[in-house]
């Protein structure tokens, strides 16, 4: 489809967004940031020329919107292929596919992310609640608005860092660059744009909700690991106690109910139950990692 050459930066960005339609929102955000940053820098460097004249020159250097979109698609494909961990051939049997989760690095990183999320959730929640409270309290003073803008700016930096952490842990593409602030504007225009930007409030919502999510993730991970590891190592402890290796066991009487669990024949069953529970936890961790990445992308990435 033939398109007229863009005559303004907004028109160029609109055409680039249309050319990238259907791509990952994180990729679109990065491409639009790079393009707008370059275009506005070129316009600012040549104040004697109009936007239309500069865009005509840029079309032969930086590229037309369709060319830039094609270049980003090609680069993204190469980067994704280089960063993707080679996976072994999937086993044909159901049992093989079930236990193959142990060969997936994303299952381990997602489990680590679940444990880490409690700490990040506390930090994010505290930062957001304190920032909003102080912004509201200082609103009647002259420093209230600058403080709120600084608070929102830090929140956006945190959201960008959180996105990079999620991508490293789950492998889901997240933005490498923040949304571009747009053309230079007055102070109050900036304030109005920030207050009406959906992403401002969705970012704060994400930071607040990370505390309950972090608690849930942490409990699932720690309880799952504790119970499964206890069951896996219970046979070793039981055998050691029966053989007298752990002398302290002779002085401790433990009542086990039902009684058949306190027999030698129950030890393999405990071990099998522990392995099964640990495998289920690995599958659940990987699934939670993917779901959380999709949730984070919905709240932290600019769309449209």
**Same domain for 240 and 180:** yes
pLDDT tens, residue by residue, 126-175: 999 999 999 888 888 888 888 888 999 899 899 999 999 999 898 888 88
- Asked which of 83, 116, 144 is the last residue of a domain, the reply is 83
**Same domain for 153 and 58:** no
The pLDDT value given to residue 246? 47
Half-sphere exposure of residue 281, counting CA atoms within 13 Å on the CB side? 25
C-beta contacts of 109-113 below 8 A and 24+ residues apart: 109/168, 109/169, 109/170, 109/289, 110/169, 110/170, 110/285, 110/286, 110/288, 110/289, 110/290, 111/221, 111/225, 111/281, 111/282, 111/285, 112/169, 113/165, 113/166, 113/169, 113/170, 113/217, 113/289, 113/292
Is the residue at 180 inside a domain?
Answer: yes
**Same domain for 126 and 169:** yes
**Same domain for 296 and 194:** yes
Domains of the chain: total: 2
C-beta contacts of 261-266 below 8 A and 24+ residues apart: 264/238, 264/239
The pLDDT value given to residue 80? 74
Q: Which stretches of 171-257 are DSSP H helices?
A: 187-196, 198-242
- Asked which of 25, 50, 83 is the last residue of a domain, the reply is 83
Who's near 300: CB < 8 A, 6+ residues apart? 159, 162, 163, 174, 175, 199, 202, 203, 206
Is the residue at 94 inside a domain?
Answer: no
Cβ neighbours around 116 below 10 Å, total: 16
Domain membership of residue 42 as a residue range: 9-83
Is the residue at 66 inside a domain?
Answer: yes
The pLDDT value given to residue 244? 55
The pLDDT value given to residue 249? 47
The pLDDT value given to residue 186? 65
**Same domain for 304 and 197:** yes
DSSP structure class, residue 247:
G
DSSP structure class, residue 250:
G
**Same domain for 112 and 19:** no
The pLDDT value given to residue 204? 94
The pLDDT value given to residue 165? 93
Is the residue at 173 inside a domain?
Answer: yes
22 with 11: CB under 8 angstroms? no
**Same domain for 268 and 211:** yes
**Same domain for 132 and 17:** no
Residue whose C-alpha is closest to residue 174's, from 53, 83, 102, 256:
83
Cα–Cα separations (whole angstroms), residue 259 to 40, 47, 254, 265, 266: 77, 87, 11, 11, 10
| Cα–Cα distance, 292 to 269 (Å, whole number) | 34
Is the residue at 21 inside a domain?
Answer: yes
**Average pLDDT for runs of 10 along the chain of length 304:** 73 88 87 87 82 78 85 82 63 80 92 96 96 89 85 91 92 83 68 80 94 97 94 73 51 49 68 92 95 92 70
The pLDDT value given to residue 203? 93
**Same domain for 109 and 31:** no
Is the residue at 221 inside a domain?
Answer: yes
């Amino acid at each position: 489809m033939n398109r007229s050459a863009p005559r303004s930066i907004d028109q160029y960005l609109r055409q680039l967004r249309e050319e990238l339609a259907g791509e990952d929102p994180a990729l679109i955000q990065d491409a639009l940031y790079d393009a707008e940053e370059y275009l506005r820098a070129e316009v600012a460097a040549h104040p004697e020329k109009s936007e239309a004249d500069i865009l005509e020159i840029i079309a032969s250097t930086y590229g037309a919107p369709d060319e830039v979109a094609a270049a980003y698609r090609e680069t993204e494909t190469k980067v994704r292929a280089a960063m993707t961990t080679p996976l072994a051939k999937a086993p044909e049997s159901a049992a093989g596919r079930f236990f193959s989760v142990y060969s997936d690095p994303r299952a381990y990183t997602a489990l680590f992310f679940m444990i880490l999320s409690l700490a990040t959730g506390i930090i994010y929640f505290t930062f957001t609640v304190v920032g909003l409270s102080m912004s509201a309290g200082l609103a009647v003073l002259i420093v209230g608005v600058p403080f709120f803008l600084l608070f929102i700016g830090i929140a956006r930096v945190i959201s960008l860092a959180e996105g990079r952490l999620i991508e490293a842990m789950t492998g889901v593409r997240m933005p490498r660059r923040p949304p571009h602030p747009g053309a230079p504007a007055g102070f109050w225009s900036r304030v109005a744009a920030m207050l009406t930007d959906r992403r401002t409030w969705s970012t704060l919502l994400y930071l607040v909700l990370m505390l309950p999510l972090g608690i849930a993730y942490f409990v699932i991970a720690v309880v799952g690991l504790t119970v499964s590891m206890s069951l896996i190592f219970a046979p070793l402890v039981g055998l050691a106690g029966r053989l007298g290796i752990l002398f302290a066991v002779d002085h401790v009487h433990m009542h086990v109910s039902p009684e058949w669990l306190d027999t030698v024949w129950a030890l393999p069953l405990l071990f099998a139950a522990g392995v099964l529970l640990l495998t289920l936890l690995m599958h659940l961790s990987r699934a939670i990692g993917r779901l959380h990445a999709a949730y984070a992308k919905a709240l932290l990435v600019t769309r449209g």
